[in-house]
Structure 1
Amino acid sequence: MIDTVISPAPSPAATRKDGVGKRLNRAVRRNPLLSASGMSEYVFSRLFRNLVYAQIWEDPDVDMAALKIAPGNSIVTIASGGCNALSYLVADPARIEAVDLNPAHVAFNRLKLTAAAHLPDYETFYRFYGQGDDRRNLDAYRQYLRPFLDAETRDYWESRTVTGRRRISIFHRRLYRHGLLGGFIGLGHTMARLYGADPRGLLKARTIEDQKRFFDETLAPLFEKRLVRWATGRKSSLFGLGIPPQQYEALSGAGSDMASILRQRVEKLACGFPLSENYFAWQAFGRGYGSGELAPLPPYLSRQNFEAVRSRAGRISITNTSLTEFLAAKAPQSVDRFILLDAQDWMTDAQLNALWSEITRTAAPAARVIFRTAPAESLLPGRVADTVLDRWTYHAAESRALHDKDRSSIYGGFHLYEFKG
Structure 2
Amino acid sequence: MIDSPAIGARIDGAVVRNPALSQTGILERIFSSAFRGLVYPQIWEDPLVDMQALALKPSDTLVTIASGSCNVMSYLTANPARLIAVDLSPAHVALGKLKLAAAAHLPGHTAFSNMFRYANLKSNVALYDRHIRPNLDPATRAYWDGRDIMGRRRIAGFSRGFYTTGLLGRFISVAHIVAKVYGVDPRELLRMDSIEQQRAFFDTRIAPIFDSRSFRALTSLRASLFGLGIPPAQYEALAGDSPDGMCGALKARTERLACSFPLKDNYFAWQAFGRGYQPGDGASLPPYLESRHFETVRRNASRVEIINENLTAMLAVRPAGSVDAFVLLDAQDWMTDQQLSELWAEITRTATSGARVIYRTAATQSPLPGRVPDGILNQWDYRAEESLAYGARDRSAIYGGFHLHIKRGRD
Q: 2:300 aligns with which of 312, 318, 322?
A: 312
Identity %: 54
Correspondence for 2:374 among 375, 386, 400: 386
Q: Which residue does 1:301 correspond to in 2?
A: 289
Counterpart in the other structure of 1:371: 359
Match of 2:121 in 1: 134
Which residue is 2:183 aligned to?
196
Q: For residue 165 of structure 2, what is the aligned residue in structure 1?
A: 178
- Give the secondary structure class of the aligned counterpart of 2:321: coil
Match runs of 1:19-418 below 5 Å: 19-254=6-241, 255-418=243-406
Cα distance per residue 1:261-318 (max 9 Å; x no partner): 1000000000100011000000000000010111100000001101100111100110
TM-score, normalisation: structure 2 = 0.98
Whole-Å separation in 2 of the counterparts to 1:174 and 1:94: 33
Identify unmatched segments of 5+ residues in structure 1: 1-12
1:362-421 deviation per Cα after TM superposition (whole angstroms, max 9, x unaligned)? 001100000000000011000000000000000000000100000000100000000004
Q: Which residue of 2 aligns with 1:4?
A: none
> Which one-letter code corresponds to 1:178 in the other structure?
T
Q: 2:393 and 2:113 mapped to 1: Cα distance?
A: 26
Give the whole-Å Cα distance in 1 for the aligned partners of 2:20 and 2:214: 28
Q: Aligned partners of 1:68 and 1:403: how far apart in 2?
A: 16
Partner Cα distance (2:213, 2:95) in 1: 38
Secondary structure of the equivalent of 1:215?
A: helix
Which stretch of the first structure deviates more once superposed, 251-260 or 150-159? 251-260
Q: Residue 276 of structure 1 aligns to a residue in which SS?
A: helix
Question: Runs (4+) of structure 1 moved beyond 6 Å?
Answer: none
Q: Is the 8 A contact 2:41 2:163 kept in 1?
A: yes
Query: Could you tell me how far apart the structure 2 residues matched to 1:166 and 1:266 are?
Result: 34
Q: Secondary structure at the match of 2:348?
A: helix
**What is the 5 A alignment of 1:13-24?**
17-24=4-11
Deviation at 1:140, TM superposition (A): 0.4
What are the superposed Cα offsets for residues 74-125 of structure 1, whole Å, 9 maximum, x if unpaired?
Answer: 0000000001111111111000000000000000111011011111010000
Letter in 2 for 1:36: Q
Is the Cα contact below 8 Å between 2:381 and 2:406 reproduced in 1? yes
Secondary structure of 1:418 counterpart: strand
- 1:230 is paired with a residue whose SS is helix
| Counterpart Cα distance in 1 of 2:148 and 2:123 | 21
**Deviation for aligned residue 1:253:** 2.4
Tell me the distance in 1 between the aligned counterparts of 2:80 and 2:315.
Answer: 18
Quote the RMSD (CA, aligned, Å). 0.9
Secondary structure at the aligned position of 1:51 is classed as coil
Question: Which secondary structure state, in structure 2, belongs to the residue aligned with residue 88 of structure 1?
Answer: helix
Deviation at 1:162, TM superposition (A): 1.5
Contact 2:240 2:246 in 1 (8 A): no
Can you give the 5+ residue segments of structure 2 that lack an aligned partner in the other structure? none
| Paired residues, number | 408
- Tell me by how many angstroms 1:256 deviates: 2.9
